[in-house]
Structure 1
Amino acid sequence: MLTGMTEDEFWALLETCRPSAPDPEADHLAPALTDHLAEGPVPAVTGFAEQLSRALYRLDRREFGEELSADEFLYTRAAVVAAGRAEYERVLADPARFRRYAAEYVWAEALLYVPDQAYERLTGETWDRATAHSYESYSHTEGWADVPEEQAAPTDGRADAPESGSDRRPPAPRR
């Protein structure tokens, strides 16, 4: 699959578009990224989406999100990505750093819409994004592999992620 953007290029683009003032929720970063990506080419937009999905997926683990609803967890993971590569790597190495973002409700929801908005501006079409990794919380099965039994799947046996906005923790993966 042609990704159009390497991991290094992804993080460099975030730094290039980062405003000089603090912007923890990406209120200024997201539009700057969208403007940059909307200049094309399309593989840069799709590559950005792939790299963003990978970064979010790597944070989709129990030690980061077990106390958060699906939406809270997704938006908080986006804030960690928006903080830049150095902070992202520190959070991956030390899950306690993630708790600060969650406790202070630092959410960067706007970052999630960057590739879709850039694609639409560039092509005039709505993008039915299908990245290698889902943005959605609890989709990284291995990251949630050792969920305690009290957080097990619903009684109907489904192993689906909670509804968006749900306060229920993720179910145990199927074995």
Structure 2
Amino acid sequence: MKEDVFWRLIEECRPPDPDPEGDQLATALAARLAHGPVADVVGFAERLSWALYRLDRREYGEGLSGDAFLYTRAAVVAAGRDAYENVLRDPERFTRFANDLLWAEALLYVPDKAYEHLTGEEWDRSTRYSYESYSNAAGWADA
């Protein structure tokens, strides 16, 4: 899945009303991806993991628990491309998401739900980049 397609999908599925936990977004994304093909689900998973991996850096997550850091990074992605790119340019913008406890854990399970809907099987998935907190060794290396 191309990057522009990934972000357009996020934007098209974002609800018009506040969605602080990202549940409505995740439901809409899973429904959209569940129409297939499986390659789109895999592509979405790859783009999501890459976006989360890029935010897995000391300047964003120092002092946060692993889960809090992961779910907050997911909230940045759920906020859309502009918010995401603004956070990448200015790590101070991540603070708003962390301080307001904006989490979007549900976004992490979108590929799994869509895959299971399409195939009837659970997805034992792995992606090129791990989205787990602190997995980006370069992002946590001492300066």
User: TM-score, normalization: structure 1?
Assistant: 0.80
1:67 alignment counterpart: 63
Instruction: Let me know the Cα RMSD of the aligned residues.
Output: 0.9
Higher Cα Rg, which structure: 1
- Determine the C-alpha separation between the residues in 1 that align with 2:70 and 2:56: 8
SS at match of 2:23: coil
Match of 1:96 among 65, 87, 92: 92
Matched, 1:112 2:108: yes
Match of 1:55 among 45, 51, 57: 51
Moved over 6 A (4+): none
Is 1:24–1:83's contact at 8 Å kept on the other side of the alignment? no
Match of 1:126 among 118, 122, 126: 122
Deviations 1:26-71 (A, max 9, x none): 1210000000001100000000000000000000000000110000
Q: CA deviation at 1:25?
A: 2.2
Letter in 2 for 1:20: P
1:12 alignment counterpart: 8
- Determine the C-alpha separation between the residues in 2 that align with 1:140 and 1:100: 22
Deviations 1:58-88 (A, max 9, x none): 0000000011000000000000000000000
1:26 alignment counterpart: 22
Letter in 2 for 1:17: C
1:167 alignment counterpart: none
1:165 alignment counterpart: none
Matched pairs, number: 143
In structure 2, stretches of 5+ residues that fail to align are: none
Deviations 1:80-129 (A, max 9, x none): 00000000000011111101111111100000000011100110000011
Q: Which has the higher contact order (CA 8 A, sep 6+)?
A: 2
- Determine the C-alpha separation between the residues in 2 that align with 1:42 and 1:138: 29
User: TM-score, normalization: structure 2?
Assistant: 0.98
Taking only the aligned residue pairs, the percentage that are identical comes to 69
Is 1:76–1:102's contact at 8 Å kept on the other side of the alignment? yes
In structure 1, stretches of 5+ residues that fail to align are: 148-175
Q: CA deviation at 1:141?
A: 0.5
